Amino acid sequence: MYDKAIIAVAILVFTYALIMSEKVERSIAALLGAMLVFVFGIVKSEDLMKLDGFMHWEALGLIFGMFILVETLRHTGFFRWIGLHTLHAAKFRPLYIFIFFSGMSAFLSAFMDSITVLFFMASLTIEVAHILKMSPIPFIIAEITAANIGGSATMVGDPPNVILGTAFGYSFMDFVVNVAIISIAVFFVNLAFFYFWYKKHLKSGGADHEKIAEEHKELDPWSAVTDKKLMYITMAVFTFTVSLLVLHSALKQFSPILGSVAFAAILGATLVLVLGGKKMPGIVTKIDWKVLIFFACLFIVVGGLENTGVTKAMGDAIGGASKGNIVIAITLILWSMAFLSAFVDNVPVAAVMIPVIREIHTATGFPESTLVWTTAIGTDIGGNGTPIGASANVVGMSVCEHDKCHITWKEYCKVAMPAMVVTITVCNILLILMYGKLF
């Protein structure tokens, strides 16, 4: 077993290295890692079908269903429509745009895939910055960090939350009650940080905003909508789906199926596909299937660590380092997750932590929920630190690159890393105040 543990760790490191090198697409890297786990006999095929095992079918079902809904909204022009409405509400004032666009990135990312949100927010921001004759970089970096913070507020916001929530059986409302309050507070701290960092830029730009607003008053938000009927249908179904996710704990008392978050998301996707008409099969082909492959294969690689006792050793080490003190445990997990997620995609970090959290809970008696909230916040917000910390970061930077507005690592990290340290410090304080009971 010791030899297999070394092999399992080596496969994980090899998979991470391939992902970080960006020479191999991350879904392919994870697929290769999963195949190696099977080849060396670390995971067997029957392990995948265990309902209580490491293959988190609930997470995969939830992600698939939400992908369909979000892709349909994207197809209808929903994101650009809401963005242009926000632009008019801001009256083309740079400071108002900065606040509104950051807030919209955070709010939308709490319910939708942050990759989609950032793709359209960054595109819209670049267009607006051209109108205002300002650099879009301050706006986009602020939007990236706001999206990751907003995504931490709910179970469907960021992939780590989906993985952790479904693995431990927590509901949508569990995240809202325990994490959203921290996310909201940290959003305003983050917004204030970026405001003071870019204050001169925001005040100096767009001096003729009234003239610019007059020149572009004909910029009609409805011109962005490609299918008004489908947008209304999808918005209604999306609201219905989120309602099911909110109520799924209560519904579970009446029916295990109704209480499944995967069922809620897949039901919403099915309704949209049925009601959306003939164009819907084309939308199915446009969702990011590679992400689902990445998650499924990653669960297998992490399962290898669990089967060989590596995660138990990690849990025992963290539990021992905390010396029976929940405050030390919160601080240790939060900061280690934050800095690890700044340099490694936060999805595999969260996946690895599932069995580790179980081991820490078993070894120390610390509340499992506290460990989950701490891990979720650390992985979600810690991803803000570098351009590769989260998928939203990569997308926002790529959109800028496409528009010949290059954001260097130095330029990004110079503001985002200090912002991450400040926000994680606030998270640390709030987590201790809320859950820091000594054992």
Residues 141 and 407: beta-carbon distance below 8 Å? yes
Q: How many CA atoms lie within 13 A of 100 on its CB side?
A: 19
Residues 346 and 306: beta-carbon distance below 8 Å? no
Residues 271 and 238: beta-carbon distance below 8 Å? no
pLDDT band with cut points at 50, 70 and 90 for residue 438: very low
Chain segment 167-202, per-residue pLDDT in tens: 898 988 899 999 999 999 999 999 999 999 998 888
The mean predicted confidence, pLDDT, of the chain is: 83
Instruction: Return d(Cα 392, Cα 210) in angstroms, integer.
Output: 32
Q: Where are the domains of the chain?
A: 2-435
Q: What is the pLDDT of residue 159?
A: 81
Q: What is the model's pTM?
A: 0.79
DSSP code of residue 387: T
Q: E strand or H helix at 93, and its extent?
A: none
Which amino acid belongs to residue 324?
G
Instruction: Return d(Cα 129, Cα 209) in angstroms, integer.
Output: 12
Q: What is the pLDDT of residue 338?
A: 93
Average pLDDT over residues 399-414: 79
Instruction: Return d(Cα 382, Cα 225) in angstroms, integer.
Output: 35
Greatest mean pLDDT range, 12-21, 31-40, 53-62, 282-291: 31-40
Residues 350 and 166: beta-carbon distance below 8 Å? no
How far is residue 145 from each of residues 88, 384, 394, measured CA to CA in Å? 23, 5, 12
How far is residue 19 from each of residues 25, 191, 248, 297, measured CA to CA in Å? 7, 31, 35, 13
pLDDT band with cut points at 50, 70 and 90 for residue 90: confident
Q: Percent of the chain scored above 90 by pLDDT?
A: 30
45 or 436: whose pLDDT is higher?
436
Instruction: Return d(Cα 230, Cα 77) in angstroms, integer.
Output: 10
Instruction: Return d(Cα 147, Cα 165) in angstroms, integer.
Output: 19
User: Does the pLDDT of residue 303 top 70, yes or no?
Assistant: yes
